[in-house]
């Protein structure tokens, strides 16, 4: 995963353009993708697909021709969606188009101007402070023209058509945690799920932030009712503790599953309530759709100093942290995929488990008493209303133990799904 982050890091991504396509080409080497191109001007809910932006070169050069700010050194140096410019101007005039982060003078900030025609550069404050007065050549070799918005999907067929969506944004330039780590974790999660035969169908969405998720929703309105659960992955690789942001509902099944897994694992973690700001969970959870979609991060949105700066580089993200994020995703989806409701087929009094060989099957098991209690709890709560997660939470028993008990009872024809 860390190597994948390093491969994608140099590319200049934005909400449209060849940088997004190049990123998806790399991801497509790891998992098969279906790439969608949506033309400029397409109405998507309350938005319109914007013009496509591409950039070849950009720089600020001093009077000797030396490039003091160079897009070739980092894609962060150009204001995202900068319109083309070719001019010579004094530093006093140029300053109005320069963006720095004075609190971190050696870092280059990330800034954009998607929906307002503008041009500009981002640079370290210490670089700006060292510039002498004088004339500077300014050039942004970019195009802003009718084209397409690009996003991609990867689908893992399940036993049922009901879907779990996993979404991550692919619009940020050279920022490793936000959100190349999310892309990498999603890619390897997809590879892990493909080795199984999952119950749900899993749909991975790689799309530009905000406008990409809105476009996906607009193009999938007729099949939104298939989406049962969802997770947005972002900031998945820093060394902070895991943070789960609940869906707008607050009690969606994905919310309960993530809380159960994080609490049971004894990992340091935080559970945050939903707010209508952050990543694309706010699009999936908008009231017209109201999907059960939460967001998993490590340190959340804007919660670390390196956020949206050049300090968010591949050395900032940790292979161990990404591995931990991936492990939690796999654990959570293992619970989600096996969480069923059952009906007790012998609900009048306690069925005789011994004559069905269910007690004998526990002989020699170190957790025989726990397994027996799990059977009794599953029988007690198999009323068609309670899930196996309900059983685990109410009984205090491990989810895997509850699933094993349900499997045994189902095999003995004492419960049915």
**Count of beta carbons in the 10 Å neighbourhood of residue 65:** 7
**Count of beta carbons in the 10 Å neighbourhood of residue 334:** 18
What is the C-alpha separation between 412 and 415, in angstroms, rounded? 8
Half-sphere exposure of 193 (CA within 13 A, CB side): 32
260 is in an annotated binding site: no
What is the C-alpha separation between 206 and 186, in angstroms, rounded? 9
Contact 131, 90 (CB under 8 A): no
308 is in an annotated binding site: yes
CB-based burial, 42-58: b 16+ in 10 Å, e otherwise:
eebeeeebbbbbbbeeb
**Residue 61: C-alpha distances to residues 57, 115, 119, 203, 359 (Å):** 13, 27, 16, 46, 81
240 Cβ contact list (under 8 Å, min separation 6): 298, 299, 303, 304, 321
Q: Which of 16, 64, 50, 13 lies closest to 36, judged by CA?
A: 16
For the chain, the maximum distance between any two Cα atoms, rounded to a whole number of angstroms, is 94
Which amino acids are annotated as binding site, given as ranges? 172, 178, 308
Which amino acids are annotated as binding site for Zn(2+), given as ranges? 172, 178, 308
């Amino acid at each position: 995963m860390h190597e994948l982050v390093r491969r994608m890091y140099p590319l200049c991504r934005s909400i449209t353009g060849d940088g997004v396509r190049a990123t998806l080409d790399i991801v497509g080497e790891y998992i098969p993708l279906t790439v969608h191109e949506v033309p400029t001007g397409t109405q998507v809910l309350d938005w319109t697909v914007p013009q496509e932006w591409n950039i070849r070169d950009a720089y600020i050069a001093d009077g000797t021709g030396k490039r003091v700010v160079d897009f070739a050194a980092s894609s962060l140096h150009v204001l995202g969606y900068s319109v083309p410019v070719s001019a010579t101007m004094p530093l006093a005039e140029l300053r109005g188009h320069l963006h720095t982060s004075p609190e971190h003078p050696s870092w280059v900030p990330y800034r954009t101007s998607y929906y307002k025609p503008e041009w500009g550069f981002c640079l370290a404050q210490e670089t700006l402070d060292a510039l002498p007065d004088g004339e500077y050549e300014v050039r942004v070799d970019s195009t802003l023209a009718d084209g397409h918005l690009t996003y991609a999907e990867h689908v893992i067929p399940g036993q049922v058509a009901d879907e779990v969506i996993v979404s991550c944004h692919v619009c940020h330039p050279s920022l490793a945690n936000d959100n190349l780590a999310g892309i990498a974790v999603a890619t390897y999660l997809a590879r892990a799920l493909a080795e199984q035969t999952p119950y749900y169908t899993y749909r991975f969405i790689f799309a530009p932030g905000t406008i990409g998720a809105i476009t996906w929703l607009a193009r999938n309105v007729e099949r939104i009712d298939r989406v049962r659960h969802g997770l947005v992955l972002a900031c998945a690789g820093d060394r902070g503790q895991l943070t789960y942001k609940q869906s707008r509902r607050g009690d969606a099944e994905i919310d309960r599953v993530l809380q159960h897994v994080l609490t049971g694992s004894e990992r340091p973690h935080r559970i945050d309530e939903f707010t209508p700001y952050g990543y694309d969970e706010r699009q999936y959870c908008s009231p017209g759709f109201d999907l059960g979609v939460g967001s998993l991060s490590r340190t959340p949105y804007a919660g670390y100093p390196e956020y949206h700066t050049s300090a968010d580089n591949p050395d900032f993200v940790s292979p161990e942290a990404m591995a931990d994020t991936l492990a939690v995703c796999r654990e959570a989806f293992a619970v989600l995929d096996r969480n069923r409701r059952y009906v007790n087929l012998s609900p009048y009094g306690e069925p005789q488990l011994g004559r069905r060989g269910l007690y004998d099957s526990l002989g020699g098991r170190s957790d025989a008493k726990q397994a027996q209690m799990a059977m009794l709890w599953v029988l007690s709560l198999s009323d068609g209303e309670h899930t196996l997660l309900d059983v685990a939470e109410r009984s205090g028993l491990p989810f895997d133990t509850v699933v094993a008990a349900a499997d045994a009872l189902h095999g003995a024809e004492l419960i049915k799904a």
